[in-house]
């Protein structure tokens, strides 16, 4: 099971809780003024799948008035 989150959730306690639950945390890195190492290719692919579905759901809700 994966935990997919954006950079607002890039904090060590969140990684620890996710791993403690037996999950794989895939969290976009928050640079905080530093250089960021990119995600591993397989992690980036999984993360991008999340963002595609979120954009789709956002479009349904915001532009077309669909209630979920």
Which residues touch 65 (CB under 8 Å, ≥6 apart)? none
- 68 contacts 61 by C-beta, under 8 angstroms: yes
Domain ranges of the chain: 2-28+37-64
Tell which residue, 44, 48, 28, has the closest CA to residue 36: 28
Q: Kindly report whether the global pTM for this prediction surpasses the value 0.75.
A: no
Average the pLDDT over 29-46 and give the result.
88
| 68 pLDDT higher than 70 | no
How far apart (Å, rounded) are the C-alpha atoms in residues 23 and 5? Answer: 13
Which range of 10-24, 25-39, 43-57 scores highest in mean pLDDT? It is 10-24
What is the pLDDT confidence band of residue 34, given thresholds at 50, 70 and 90? confident
């Amino acid at each position: 099971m994966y935990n997919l989150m954006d950079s607002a959730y890039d904090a060590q306690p969140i990684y620890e809780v996710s791993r403690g639950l037996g999950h794989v945390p895939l969290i976009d890195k928050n640079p905080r003024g530093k250089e960021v190492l990119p995600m591993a290719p397989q992690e980036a692919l999984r993360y991008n799948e999340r963002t595609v579905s979120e954009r789709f759901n956002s479009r349904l809700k915001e532009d077309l008035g669909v209630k979920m």
